[in-house]
Structures are given as C-alpha cells and as structure tokens.
C-alpha cells in the first residue's frame, strides 16, 4: 500500500506546480484551514472535494461496554465531512452490474 502524502510533501508539490515559495503555499493552506473552521457553521465547501458541515445529534440510549448498563448519551453537535460526488467517482472504481 502506498504511503500517504505528508503536509510537507503536499506543500512542496503545490510550490513546484505553481512556481511559488513553500512559505507562501504553507500560508495559503493555513488560511484555508482557518477559513474552513470559521465557516463550518454555515457549511464550508471545497468544490470537487466535499463539504464541511455541522450536524446535530439527538439524545440517545447507549450501553456501557464494561458493565452493560444502559446510559443516556446527551445531544451534541459534531463536525462531518461529506465527500463530493465528483471526488467519489474519481477515486472509487466504477462498478459494472
């Protein structure tokens, strides 16, 4: 299995591709991350890749795996990333029926 690209490798790739300094590319990625965190409550979309959204989970029943006791899990808001259809089609092989 191939090794995942590191942050440094991604920055180096973009710096070479667009003939920019690595510091400039790193600051662009930092600003993109900051913007996505700030705008997640309104849904932050990376075109062709996916959306960062906040989802509200209702209160629900669960079990303590150690004791088997039923417990109530409180309601909470969680962050989810929904992959775009274009990204799924580009990454996953096409299934023939």
Number of independent structural domains in the chain: 2
Q: Are residues 25 and 61 in the same domain?
A: no
Which residues are paired to 55 by β-bridges? 78
Task: Dump pLDDT digits (tens) for 6-42.
Answer: 999 999 999 999 999 999 999 999 999 999 999 999 9
With bands split at pLDDT 50, 70 and 90, how would you rate the model's confidence at 2? confident
Residue 36's φ and ψ, nearest 5 degrees, are -65, -40
Q: Are residues 31 and 65 in the same domain?
A: no
Tens-digit pLDDT profile for residues 69-95: 999 999 999 999 999 999 999 999 877
Give yes or no: residues 49 and 95 share one domain. Answer: yes
Looking at the fold, whether 89 and 54 belong to one and the same domain comes out as yes
Number of H helices, E strands in the chain: 3, 5
Same domain, 80 and 48: yes
Task: Say what the pLDDT of residue 95 is.
Answer: 74
Which tens digit of pLDDT belongs to each residue from 36-46? 999 999 999 99
In this structure, the strands spanning 76-83 and 50-57 are antiparallel
Helix (H, G, I), strand (E, B) or coil at 94: coil
User: Which distant-in-sequence residues (6+ apart) come within 8 Å of 28 by Cβ?
Assistant: 14
Across 1-97, the runs of DSSP E, i.e. the strands, are 44-46, 50-57, 60-63, 70-73, 76-83
Residue 1 has pLDDT above 80, yes or no: no
Domain residues for 21?
1-37
């Amino acid at each position: 299995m191939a090794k995942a690209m590191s942050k440094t490798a991604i920055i180096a790739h973009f710096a070479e591709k667009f003939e920019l300094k690595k510091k400039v590319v790193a600051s662009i990625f930092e600003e993109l991350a900051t913007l996505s965190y700030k705008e997640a409550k309104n849904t932050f979309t990376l075109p062709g890749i996916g959306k960062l959204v906040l989802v509200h989970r209702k209160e629900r029943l669960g079990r303590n795996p150690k004791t088997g006791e039923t417990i109530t899990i409180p309601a909470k808001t969680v962050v989810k990333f929904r992959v775009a259809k274009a990204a799924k089609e580009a990454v996953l092989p096409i299934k023939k029926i």
